[in-house]
């Protein structure tokens, strides 16, 4: 089972045309930051030069269910990885421990690759370093860590500790009785977080970090403490907070959103649309009266902190128990089109339209920001469009994005 999108975008695109209006000059000069106002859905529709024949608002209940499904699937994926690690731990014990399993694999590799003695001798020396150790020493950490979406910069996926996820620690001289496994965070060095020890042997430990929402991603160290108080040398790891998806309420985070457009029409509006249930969405409309078609791109910039983002990589969606299918993030940008009005009679051109959106992260000009690009086109005469966007963001559990 794979984890999900870390973005959900539900576009409700309504395409409109309008009645007579005094024409104004068109502009193709890039405007660095358009004014945005807060309005209700009805206020936006009544402010258009004409009215819409149809208005099909988004099914917000369905979208909320999808968000919950994503988070649940992510937790199920972690539970599956934990079960796989438990099986691996048991297999190591049945093989006589990780060192014996390593030596058996090394011997088999020597038979298969007789001309690789130099590299295999180095591996032999590696295992011998742990044969006669007299204090706890960590050889490696094993996990099934993986997640959809972009990783924070410099994240080493091999040595990661994530809340809810299990890890295997291999080494030597851990002692026959279960001691402690501690996580020391770089941003709080005076304290430590204990991991739950599931299984313990002299050379291998299986442990799980419980949920700890609110702690941001950071460097950390793992330390083993035997029952006699002797500690291992700290092992550098990355603490990666459990990821969740949530809806982004734009009206409650006005300072985190900007919009830019590459072209202007007779009338351009950018709004934060509020609904009675407390949710809010991004919306925009473009309308041209006469006398040439206009096309442009609206760029919505979300300035989010602490590794929150609108992910732009492939995600997975559960379709049945223990089954998930790959889905492009852009598949979650669903356009619902409402027909427009053509009040210019035979002089009216076709309705406006919206093209394929794109999502860009890790911007050089705005590190940590997510960029949502929406191409659009308005016809030459009495042609316009209006769209709504409900955005889902992905980031560390309990950590603020503002």
> From first to last of its 402 residues, what are the pLDDT tens digits of the chain?
333 333 333 333 333 433 333 333 332 333 358 999 998 888 887 887 765 655 555 555 666 777 787 788 778 888 888 888 899 889 888 888 888 888 888 888 888 888 887 778 877 777 767 665 767 777 666 665 555 544 454 555 457 888 998 889 888 889 999 999 999 999 998 899 999 999 999 889 999 999 999 999 999 999 999 999 999 988 888 898 988 888 888 888 888 999 999 999 999 999 998 887 777 888 898 888 888 999 999 999 999 889 888 876 655 544 444 455 554 555 454 444 344 545 666 677 777 888 888 888 777 677 778 888 999 988 888 888 888 888 888 889 999 988
pLDDT of 359: 83
Q: Which residue has the tokens 């500690």?
A: 231
The ranges of the chain annotated as CATH 2.60.40.10 are 74-241
Residue 186 in 3-state DSSP? Answer: coil
Residues in the chain: 402
CA distance to 142, 148, 241, 314, 330, per residue, from 326 (Å): 26, 11, 23, 7, 12
Gap between the Cα atoms of 198 and 299, Å rounded:
49
74-241 domain in CATH 1.10.640.10? no
pLDDT of 250: 85
pLDDT of 25: 31
pLDDT of 180: 96
For 113-145, write each residue's pLDDT tens digit: 888 877 788 777 777 676 657 677 776 666 655
Kindly report the backbone phi and psi dihedral angles of residue 147, in degrees, each rounded to the nearest multiple of 5, phi listed first.
-160, 155
CA distance to 35, 193, 362, per residue, from 366 (Å): 20, 34, 7
Report DSSP letters for 250-301, one per residue. Answer: GGG-GGGEEEEES-B-SEEEEEEEE-TTS-EEEEEEEEE-SSS-EEEEEEEE
pTM score over 0.85: no
Q: For the chain, what is the largest distance between any 2 Cα atoms, rounded to a whole number of angstroms?
A: 91
pLDDT of 5: 33
């Amino acid at each position: 089972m794979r984890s999900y999108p870390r973005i959900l975008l539900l576009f409700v695109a309504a395409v409109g045309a309008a009645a007579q209006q005094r024409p104004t000059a068109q502009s193709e000069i890039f405007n660095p930051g358009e004014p945005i106002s807060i309005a209700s859905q009805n206020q936006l529709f009544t402010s258009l030069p004409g009215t819409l024949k149809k208005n099909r608002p988004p099914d917000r209940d369905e979208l909320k269910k999808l968000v919950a499904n994503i988070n649940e699937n992510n937790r199920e994926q972690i539970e599956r990885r934990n079960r796989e690690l438990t099986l691996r731990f048991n297999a190591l014990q049945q093989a006589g421990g990780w060192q014996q399993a390593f030596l058996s694999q090394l011997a088999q590799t020597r038979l298969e690759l007789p001309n690789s003695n130099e590299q295999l001798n180095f591996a032999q020396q590696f295992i011998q370093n742990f044969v006669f150790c007299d204090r706890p020493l960590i050889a490696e950490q094993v996990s099934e860590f993986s997640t959809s979406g972009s990783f924070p910069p410099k994240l080493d996926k091999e040595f990661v500790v994530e809340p809810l996820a299990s890890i295997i620690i291999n080494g030597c001289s851990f002692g026959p009785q279960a001691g402690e496994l501690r996580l020391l965070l770089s941003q709080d060095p005076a304290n430590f977080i204990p991991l739950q020890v599931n299984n313990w042997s002299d050379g291998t430990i299986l442990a799980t970090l419980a949920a700890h929402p609110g702690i941001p991603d950071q460097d950390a160290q793992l330390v083993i403490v035997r029952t006699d108080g002797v500690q291992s040398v700290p092992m550098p790891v990355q603490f990666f907070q459990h990821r969740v998806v949530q809806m982004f309420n734009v009206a409650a985070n006005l300072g985190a959103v900007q919009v830019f457009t590459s072209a202007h029409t007779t009338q351009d509006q950018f709004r934060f649309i509020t609904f009675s249930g407390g949710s809010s969405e991004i919306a925009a409309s473009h309308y041209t009266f006469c006398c040439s078609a206009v096309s442009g791109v609206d760029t919505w910039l979300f300035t989010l902190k602490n590794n929150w983002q609108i992910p732009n990589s492939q995600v997975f969606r559960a379709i049945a128990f223990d089954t998930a299918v790959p889905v492009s993030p852009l598949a979650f940008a669903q356009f619902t089109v409402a027909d427009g009005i053509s009040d210019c009679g035979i002089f009216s051109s076709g309705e406006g339209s919206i093209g394929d959106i794109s999502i860009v992260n890790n911007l050089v000009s705005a590190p940590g920001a997510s960029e949502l690009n929406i191409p659009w086109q308005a016809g030459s005469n009495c042609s316009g469009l209006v769209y709504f966007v409900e955005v889902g963001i992905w980031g560390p559990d309990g950590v603020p994005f503002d």
